[in-house]
Amino acid sequence: MAEKRYYVTTPIYYPSGKWHLGSAYTTVLADAVSRYRKLDGYEVFFLTGTDEHGLKIEKKAAESGKDPKNYVDEIVADLKRLWKLMDIEYSKFIRTTDDYHVKAVQKIFTKLYEKGEIYKSQYEGWYCVPCESFWTETQLKEGKCPDCGREVTKSKEESYFFRLSKYADRLMRLYEENPDFLLPGSRVNEMVNNFIKPGLSDLAVSRTSFKWGVPVPFDNRHVIYVWIDALSNYITALGYGGDDDALYQKFWPADVHLMAKEIVRFHSIIWPALLMALDIPVPKKVYGHGWLMMGGDKLSKSKAGNALKDVIDPFVLIERYGSDSMRYVLLKEGPYAGDTPYTNETLITTINSDLANDLGNLLSRTTAMISQYFGGKAPAPKGYGDLDRQLIDMAEGLYSRYRQHIENCDVPSILEDAMALVRRTNKYIDETMPWALAKSEEGRGRLSTVLYVLAEALRICAAYLYPAMPKAATAIWKSLGVEEKIDSFDSVKRFGGLKPGSKVTKGAPLFARLDANREAKELEKIALSSQKKEKPMEKPEISIEDFSKIELKTARVIACEKVEKADKLLKLTVDVGGQTRTLISGIAKHYSPEEMVGKTVVLVANLAPAKLRGIVSEGMILCAEDEQGNLSIISPDKEMGSGCEVR
């Protein structure tokens, strides 16, 4: 039998900022796909990494006063920490700044040049820095980048070009002859109608206007276009263009490149054309899922205030709910062709209903009953009836259904099938009523069968849930006394693998049930407080000279009364180092006149007088105000006289 090998990749990520849950989606999906394939007997290579060159990184590094490599090192370390916390088991993490990659990219570029696939000319057009994409005048949408809608900059420079235009026919053939090359199917039309039919232009593949990239080896005024550098990672990581290409020989062509829809164009047009030009086989599949909408958009940068309550640092979420819960929610709710909004509510409801209720309860009920009625030893079944057969058929059907779904990387459907069996098994408890069977001697035989069916159905479900929730699934097998690791589907393809007599233990609940209302409020608080921390200053920076123009003084309130027909205003009489002044202040909703008398406050003493409700106010007192509109007067921390300078 041919050896079963599987090569799955994620995009390599731009280390350009903070990570959010949406950016984790593809990697969690790839990890689940990789684990499923391993259970199915494949030798898997799972590649991820970072895309570290380009103008965008060069600019960001300059803004933070660092050299680009130091700048990305910190962010890459953070990303690796995130993957570790999320139990991502990649085979390799490539960085495009890795020496072997840089050399291999240079070899690739030289080879293309020597084959006449790359030539030198002049580039004139538009460049979108955030997308690192070139556009012609006609491709722009209302003068902006057609991918992200942001400003583009005019660019004119000498450039090397890749003969992309000559590959249009071969690309069309690739799609026609391999209907599964690009998934979901709707993406094929997008590529054909938006890019290939209007005519492919040759692609500018070098830049001279910045330095942070792989130098063109035979013309080092140029750096190689970041997308050529980045796409090549899928083969350089395997050793292509290096000293040892054994992994390349073993795993290429890739079985699937996973990504979100915005970069499908690069993977289904530019990448296959480059490979064709290099006489290398093209990947078997490109899968471009939709976006997880974080707070209203892909990047979680929406200005839509209310939606931001759902944007929470993934590190915080993992610490709070554990990686299994986060992985399950992402995989179950994750987008297929369209986009899916992500909300705190979805997170809480899914943890409560699927994990704490359905799965957690099934485990605790099953193990509790086996402990109670059979002293913690899995009973042997004593013959199956129709009801049992329903569950057995469902459990045995999981494998063939899995096989269909995995071909489309459809992890949500695999999970849905496993959870449907969990729910069916919970219902089976209500239908068979083991507690009633336990009451009579005749019922004991049936009870053995029922409890065996429960435990075995749960063992089988756990194997299909393992790629999403490796920790919880492993804990389930342990609780059921299964000694083997979950490393193959072999023992779950047929019902009956659980050994009667296995030592069953009732462990701690798998997932804690959340108080939905309280949790939603907590999450909202966490989101808002972290966003406040990140909020930039709203007013322009001022110099110390600007500040010194403001005269701040302590003042003691000697009299206070309400201003007639103005429910927000108080009239204060204050003493400022022996001088008396009148002030009008909008604090009447927060302080009564009686409370104010005797207080020492801080006064902006040189503010131009202003007339309010016919009264001249000679200055202003300082207060702090929070987002809910609560006010607090600023007073000196220790007893101070009036008229002291505040600075």
> What residue ranges bind ligand MSP (CB under 6 A)?
11-14, 22-23, 25-26, 51, 230-231, 233, 259-260, 263, 291-292, 294, 298
Query: Measured from the CB atom, is 51 or 354 closer to ligand MSP?
Result: 51
Phi, psi of 616 (to 5 degrees): -85, 125
Query: Measured from the CB atom, is 13 or 248 closer to ligand MSP?
Result: 13
Query: Measured from the CB atom, is 41 or 130 closer to ligand MSP?
Result: 130
Angle made by CA atoms 482, 485, 490, in degrees to the nearest 5: 90
Query: Measured from the CB atom, is 134 or 591 closer to ligand MSP?
Result: 134
Q: How far is the CB of 8 from ligand MSP (least distance, A)?
A: 13
In the block, which residue shows the tokens 């006289």?
Answer: 641
Angle made by CA atoms 103, 104, 106, in degrees to the nearest 5: 65
CA-CA distance, 312 to 294, in Å (whole number)? Answer: 9
Residue 455 · residue 501 · CB < 8 Å: no
Q: How far is the CB of 134 from ligand MSP (least distance, A)?
A: 15
Q: How far is the CB of 477 from ligand MSP (least distance, A)?
A: 31
Residue 561 · residue 571 · CB < 8 Å: yes
60-to-57, 64, 66, 154 alpha-carbon distances in Å: 5, 6, 9, 20
Query: Measured from the CB atom, is 38 or 95 closer to ligand MSP?
Result: 95
Q: How far is the CB of 49 from ligand MSP (least distance, A)?
A: 9
Phi, psi of 103 (to 5 degrees): -65, -40
Q: How far is the CB of 552 from ligand MSP (least distance, A)?
A: 47
Query: Measured from the CB atom, is 57 or 458 closer to ligand MSP?
Result: 57
**CB-closest chain residue to ligand MSP:** 22
Q: Provide the token pair at 354.
A: 């699927």
Helices 21-39 and 323-333 sit at what angle, rounded to 10 degrees?
90
In the block, which residue shows the tokens 């974080």?
Answer: 294
CA-CA distance, 458 to 480, in Å (whole number)? Answer: 9
How many CB atoms within 10 Å of residue 634?
14
Beta carbons within 8 Å of 518's beta carbon, 6+ residues apart:
none
Q: If DSSP codes are grouped into helix, strand and coil, which group holds residue 303?
A: coil
Secondary structure E strands in 83-241: 92-95, 118-128, 133-135, 153-162, 182-183, 203-204, 206-207, 223-224
Query: Measured from the CB atom, is 58 or 575 closer to ligand MSP?
Result: 58
How many CB atoms within 10 Å of residue 243?
7
Query: Measured from the CB atom, is 294 or 370 closer to ligand MSP?
Result: 294
Query: Measured from the CB atom, is 315 or 399 closer to ligand MSP?
Result: 315
Q: How far is the CB of 10 from ligand MSP (least distance, A)?
A: 7
Beta carbons within 8 Å of 221's beta carbon, 6+ residues apart:
208
Query: Measured from the CB atom, is 338 or 375 closer to ligand MSP?
Result: 338
Query: Measured from the CB atom, is 294 or 419 closer to ligand MSP?
Result: 294
Beta carbons within 8 Å of 622's beta carbon, 6+ residues apart:
552, 601, 602, 603, 604, 633, 634
Q: How far is the CB of 260 from ligand MSP (least distance, A)?
A: 3
Q: Which of 380, 375, 361 is nearest to 503 (CA)?
A: 375
Q: How far is the CB of 58 from ligand MSP (least distance, A)?
A: 15
Q: Which of 92, 95, 72 is nearest to 30 (CA)?
A: 92
Query: Measured from the CB atom, is 292 or 473 closer to ligand MSP?
Result: 292
Beta strand 552-562 pairing with 645-646: antiparallel
Q: If DSSP codes are grouped into helix, strand and coil, which group holds residue 561?
A: strand
Q: Which of 513, 511, 425 is nearest to 475 (CA)?
A: 511
Q: How far is the CB of 47 from ligand MSP (least distance, A)?
A: 10
Q: How far is the CB of 413 from ligand MSP (least distance, A)?
A: 18
Query: Measured from the CB atom, is 51 or 87 closer to ligand MSP?
Result: 51
Residue type, 52: E
Q: How far is the CB of 451 from ligand MSP (least distance, A)?
A: 43
Residue type, 628: Q
Q: How far is the CB of 526 from ligand MSP (least distance, A)?
A: 19
CA-CA distance, 223 to 207, in Å (whole number)? Answer: 5
Q: How far is the CB of 291 from ligand MSP (least distance, A)?
A: 4
Q: How far is the CB of 26 from ligand MSP (least distance, A)?
A: 3
Query: Measured from the CB atom, is 239 or 381 closer to ligand MSP?
Result: 239
Residue 334 · residue 346 · CB < 8 Å: no
Phi, psi of 375 (to 5 degrees): 60, 30
In the block, which residue shows the tokens 């929070």?
Answer: 626
